[in-house]
């Protein structure tokens, strides 16, 4: 496998213009600042954080549904963020998305067969109707849907089945990257587990890179190989899953993990931490220094004065925290 295979995001920044009315200069709302990440084929990166931290913006920016202020997105070594629109259409079938609301993402007036075949009609127009139908039935079988369901309409399916239809539509083009934006948050717990198992199965079979966005750390823990924590559009911590849950270093990560209930009292006691106080600051006027210092129980004077760097630890983790990085072992 090429060392450049998969998804690489470097220094990604996104801002929105917020109008304050006629004859007034628009404010700039920074949604993402200098985000770096890598997802190799066959790996899943979980992205977590509070609402408003930039998770969905990150997904949209990778798929070029949102303009970039800075940075680059590379897919299999190619800088796709710099491609023209016609050139990007060549790459677009390789990158697909599964949405949060499985029912709302399906056209109620279309049969399942036509819903799943729509990407083929757009990106593979050379296929005959019989060939498209065959590929649709193969995708349905992969996600656990019976062939006779192809002629039904979305309202005839449960939420879990509807999400399987959405996944079938996403994989029918045989992409390399699957972006799941809160893809199981609307499902019951038992159905959620089934969909996560399905995604893991598809990843093994297809060698998928998966970007899995969720606010639920217990879900991310089940499916992700690595986890990235966003706060106010910045990466505050990234680490392999087991490292992050065993030794969360950033106070924000500790608070997020501490908010997840566990049936094991030993784990529950080990992860006890003070709850996060206050509200998420306004991204239009963020606090100086570390953006988390206004809510951090460990904040020191330096936290309000200087932005901490994202330092790499020997176990592969990266942390942006003055207090935590003070304990980082010196490089050999």
- Is residue 255 domain-resident? yes
Tokens 């408003």 identify what position?
52
pTM: 0.91
Who contacts 280 (Cβ-Cβ below 8 Å, separation ≥6)?
50, 52, 53, 232
Confidence (pLDDT) at 96: 96
- Is residue 48 domain-resident? no
Q: Are 40 and 207 in contact (CB under 8 A)?
A: no
- Is residue 305 domain-resident? yes
- Is residue 63 domain-resident? no
Q: How many domains does the chain have?
A: 1
Confidence (pLDDT) at 32: 95
Average pLDDT over the chain reads 90
- Is residue 129 domain-resident? no
pLDDT tens-digit map of 241-262: 999 999 999 999 999 998 775 5
- Is residue 290 domain-resident? yes
Nearest to 226 by CA among 1, 6, 3: 6
- Helix pair 129-142, 159-171: axis angle to 10 deg: 130
pLDDT tens-digit map of 61-118: 999 999 999 999 999 999 999 999 999 999 999 999 998 888 888 999 999 999 999 9
1 pLDDT band (50/70/90 cuts)?
A: very low
pLDDT tens-digit map of 193-204: 999 999 999 999
Structural domain boundaries, residue 315: 242-332
Confidence (pLDDT) at 100: 86
């Amino acid at each position: 496998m090429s060392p450049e295979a998969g998804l690489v995001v470097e220094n990604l920044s996104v801002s929105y213009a917020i109008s304050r009315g006629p004859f007034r200069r628009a404010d700039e709302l920074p949604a993402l600042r200098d985000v770096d990440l890598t997802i190799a084929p066959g790996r899943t990166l979980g992205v977590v954080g509070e609402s408003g931290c930039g998770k969905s913006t990150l997904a949209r920016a990778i798929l070029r549904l949102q303009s970039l202020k800075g940075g680059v997105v590379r897919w299999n070594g190619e800088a796709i963020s710099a491609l023209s629109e016609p050139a990007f259409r060549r790459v677009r079938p390789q990158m697909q998305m599964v949405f949060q609301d499985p029912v709302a993402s399906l056209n109620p007036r279309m049969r399942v067969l036509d819903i799943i075949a729509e990407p083929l009609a757009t990106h593979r127009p050379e296929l005959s109707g019989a060939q498209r139908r065959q590929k649709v039935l193969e995708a349905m079988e992969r996600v656990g849907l019976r062939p006779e369901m192809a002629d039904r309409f979305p309202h005839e399916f449960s939420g879990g089945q509807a999400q399987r239809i959405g996944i079938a539509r996403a994989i029918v083009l045989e992409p390399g990257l699957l972006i799941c934006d809160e893809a199981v948050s609307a499902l019951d717990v038992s159905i959620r587990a089934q969909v996560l198992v399905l995604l893991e199965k598809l990843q093994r079979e297809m060698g998928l890179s998966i970007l899995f966005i969720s606010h639920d750390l217990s879900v991310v823990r089940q499916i992700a190989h690595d986890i990235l924590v966003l706060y106010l559009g910045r990466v505050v911590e990234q680490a392999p899953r087991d490292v992050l849950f065993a030794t969360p270093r950033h106070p924000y990560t500790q608070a997020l993990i501490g908010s997840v209930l566990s049936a094991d009292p030993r784990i529950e006691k080990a992860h006890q931490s003070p709850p996060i106080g206050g509200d998420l600051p306004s991204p239009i006027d963020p606090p100086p220094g570390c953006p988390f210092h206004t809510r951090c129980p460990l904040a020191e004077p330096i936290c309000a004065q200087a932005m901490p760097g994202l330092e790499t630890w020997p176990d592969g983790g990266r942390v942006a925290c003055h207090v935590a990085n003070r304990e980082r072992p010196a490089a050999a």
